[in-house]
Structure 1
Amino acid sequence: MDMDFLRAYAGRPASGITRRDVARALLAVPSGVALVALPDLRRAMMAAGNPLSVAFWESAKATLSSIEAGVATVGDVQRWVESTGTEPILVTPGYFVWPEEDERGPVATEMFARLVAYLEERVAVGEVDPDALAVGDRAARQAYEELQERWLSTPLPDGRVPGFAVSDEQDEELFAAWDEEEAFALSELRRIMAELPERPELPPDELEAAATRLRALLDLPGYPGSVLRACAGFDERPVPDDDVELWLAVAAGVAGPVSDLSEGADVLEEFADLDGELGEEDTALANLCAIQHADWLAGVAALVRLGPGVLASPERMARLIAESEDIDIDDQDEEDLGATEGLFASVVSLWGHLGIVDGSEVLTRLGWWGLPQALERAWSPAVD
């Protein structure tokens, strides 16, 4: 590692190289190599008329030595790079989080570069003091954090607010990945159903009885009616008159909740109590939202293949998912199985109210017919 490497890595002439450039270049090679090269780099920077500072070089030596000794944490190294004065803070006090470098989209990449350039300007005019940051000055660090918070929330000349622009891009990427996963799961569900030797038929008597119970539940406050209404989105739209439409809307909502619980005063108070435990309603919705498409596919595919009469308890669902050949899954230990079982405890409980399973948690004819129909609806693109 020499001055040529440093210039190439920074993409600037020696006179324009910043502390951040040097820090990132030093971290790009093994710590032992960087430690050996440090004195020569320091002399080369002095010869180029860009000596940086004693505080920076001492902090570099201390950090590299800690890395070489195996005692430096990722947070220690990140904070050192941030102390160069032109490295954006990875997680701000306002909880804005920059994506990892290899996961940034075009907008995040642009905004990150804009912030680096802005911080370089602030260093040049003396508003940011890298030496104070390097020695751990708390006031300097707080000012550095506040400066970045302001920049992230201040509109650019084109009207974009940097923090919101990055978050919006991340949301779009997340939604795109979710839609892709959902589309694949739907295609696999259709393939599995097409291969069944016998297609499930709707049992009208079971449907009528389940719909009658369901309408009564939806009129009651608290669990499970509140959760079922949220799953189907009935807090924002009327309950259908048709039994099939009603049942499928709720069953599909269990696999893909449409909305959250209504925000009453008690709900807000519960979430404000950070030391308290979630209630039954919130726990159920959180569990439903945590189940992956692959687990829904594996579990329901197994039940549909086995047919009415098969046990569909939370423990059995966890085993069916772990043993499924429909999805790629790593070996499951008891802790993994326990986690899956915990998530499906909420599912099976709600399935009982829908008549998908009976009182012994055994799959019914209605569940055999309705589960694939519900997943088909939950994973199909919304139509206006």
Structure 2
Amino acid sequence: MNVDLDFVSEYAGRHSALLTRRDVARALLAVPSGQALVAVPDLRRAMLAAGNPLSSAFWDSAKSTLTAIEAGVATVGDVQRWLESTGTEPILITRNYFVWPEEGERGPVAAELYERLVSHLEEHVTAGDIEPDLLVSGDADAREVYEGIQDRWLSTALPDGRVPSVAVGDELDEGLFATWDEEEAFALSELHRVLADLPEPSCPTADLAEAARRLRLLLAEPGYPGTVLKVCAGLDGEPLPESDVELWLMLAAGVASPVSDLQDDDEHQFWDLEGELSQEDAALAAICTIHHADWLAAVIALARRGPGVLASPERIARFVAESEDIDVEMDDPEDLETTEALFTSVTPLWERLGIVDDKAILTPLGWWGLPKALERAWSPE
């Protein structure tokens, strides 16, 4: 591949007279660094002949960055910062903590708005508001202006009414929700597949009634673990279900798949950004981190073994790692430790639900109810 002016123009989709520093930088980064280094002198002369010489500061920075890449000492951050110093490369993570998706992961909305921001920045470079030569030299004031322009554009409504940061975030959320729904649907089908070959336990009515009685008292009390159970089940001030079965399944399903997040009101505001995580924070964070496959492997293992099996966090981690029903990637010993640590926040809630006893032994209620709770948690309705 010949890295010449024609290549750069074709790569950028622009005539040579209109090429920007960003166009040239991206084209140089698209080929092996050694090849790009060799091409820089001829490319610089060709740009000069085309009436678009760019600047000495840019060409010096290109040589310096490509040399560092070739030597293996340039970090991803170094390269990104060099791209940003062209003045028209959007910052991946802004001062206001907006994060652009990676190039290959942008949806139609993000791709469109990204290019619109590039055009917006080009206008500011042309107007002299953004000074790339100062950016490449590390000038703090120039960087401040460059970042401020992007933050304002991202938070200002476009003529069509869209606020770029909100529009990109909404598209990302839609994609995440769709992926999550697909994972839940697959996990539910796998649960049904495996349970179809297992006997269905009968409901231990007396145990369920006693567990529901204790839970109603617990949910009336402030603090952990009642607060966590209510948040997971989406109980935000509504009356508790009269049915013991409905109450129990709602709470047990919420532990496997929380219905709601932390509330904003004072009663449920757990987060303390200045200090350590509270017990509620830690439990909710752990529960929300457990993968569908881990839940599936754990619950199926317990369903196969029945009441009396040890269901401690350590044992559950082993069930997940050794599952023959569900393919869970757990090649690193740290993965086992992580799974154990996450379920350390689950088993105390299971004990309050009567799924396990005070020695972490699976109960008849847990044997009957855990698969039903998981089914409820993953069902679309």
Fold match, TM over 0.5? yes
- Displaced runs of 4 or more, over 2 A: 259-270, 325-334
* Aligned position for 1:26: 28
1:364 aligned partner: 363
Normalising by structure 2, what TM-score?
0.97
Q: Distance in 1 between matches of 2:317 and 2:342?
A: 9
CA-CA distance at 1:358 after TM superposition: 1.3
What residue is the counterpart of 1:181 in the other structure? 183
Give the match for residue 90 of structure 2: 88
Q: Which moved more, 1:227-236 or 1:310-319?
A: 227-236
Q: Which moved more, 1:257-266 or 1:339-348?
A: 257-266
CA deviations 1:351-381 (Å, max 9, x no partner) are 1111111122111111111001101111111
Q: For residue 332 of structure 1, report the CA deviation from its aligned partner.
A: 3.3
Output one character per residue of 1:7-42: Cα deviation in whole Å (capped at 9) or x when no partner. Answer: 111111110111100000000011111111000000
Question: Where does residue 244 of structure 1 map in the other structure?
Answer: 245
Residues 224-259 of structure 1, C-alpha deviations (whole Å, 9 max, x = no match): 111111121222422011100010010001101122
- Change in Cα spacing, 1:270 to 1:158, as seen in structure 2 (3 Å) is closer
Q: What does 1:113-132 align with in structure 2 at a 5 Å threshold?
A: 113-132=115-134
Name the aligned partner's letter for residue 136 of structure 1. G
What does residue 209 of structure 2 align with? 208
CA distance in 1, matches of 2:299, 2:270: 37
* 5+ long unaligned stretches in structure 2: none
Q: Is the 8 A contact 1:226 1:261 kept in 2?
A: no
Residue identity (%): 66
Do the aligned partners of 1:26 and 1:34 also contact (CA within 8 Å) in 2? yes
Q: Runs of 5+ in structure 1 lacking a partner?
A: none
Count of matched residue pairs: 379
**1:221-370 aligned within 5 A:** 221-263=222-264, 265=266, 270-273=271-274, 276-370=275-369
Deviation, 1:267, is 6.5
Per-residue deviation, residues 302-327 of structure 1 (Å, max 9, x unmatched): 11011111111100000000111233
Query: Secondary structure, in 3 states, of the residue corresponding to 1:149?
Result: helix
Counterpart Cα distance in 2 of 1:2 and 1:262: 57
* C-alpha contact (below 8 Å) 2:37/2:66 kept by paired residues: yes
- The structural deviation recorded for 1:268 is 5.1
1:262–1:126 CA distance, 2 compared to 1 (3 A): closer
| Contact 1:42/1:57, CA 8 A, preserved across alignment | yes
Contact 2:229 2:251 in 1 (8 A): yes
Q: CA deviation at 1:345?
A: 1.0
Which runs of structure 2 are paired with 1:193-204 in the superposition (5 Å)? 193-196=195-198, 198-204=199-205
Residue 194 of structure 2 aligns with which residue? 192
Structure 2 counterparts to residues 128-139 of structure 1, below 5 A: 128-139=130-141
- 2:379 is matched with 380
The one of 16, 19, 22 aligned to 1:14: 16
Q: Is the 8 A contact 2:227 2:268 kept in 1?
A: no
Distance (Å, rounded) in 2 between the aligned partners of 1:201 and 1:263: 40
Q: 1:42 aligns with which of 41, 44, 51?
A: 44
Task: Write the letter of the residue equivalent to 1:28.
Answer: A
Distance across 1 between alignment mates of 2:178 and 2:238: 27
For the residue of structure 2 that corresponds to 1:272, the secondary structure is coil
Aligned position for 1:73: 75
On the 8 A contact 2:263/2:269 being kept in 1, the answer is no
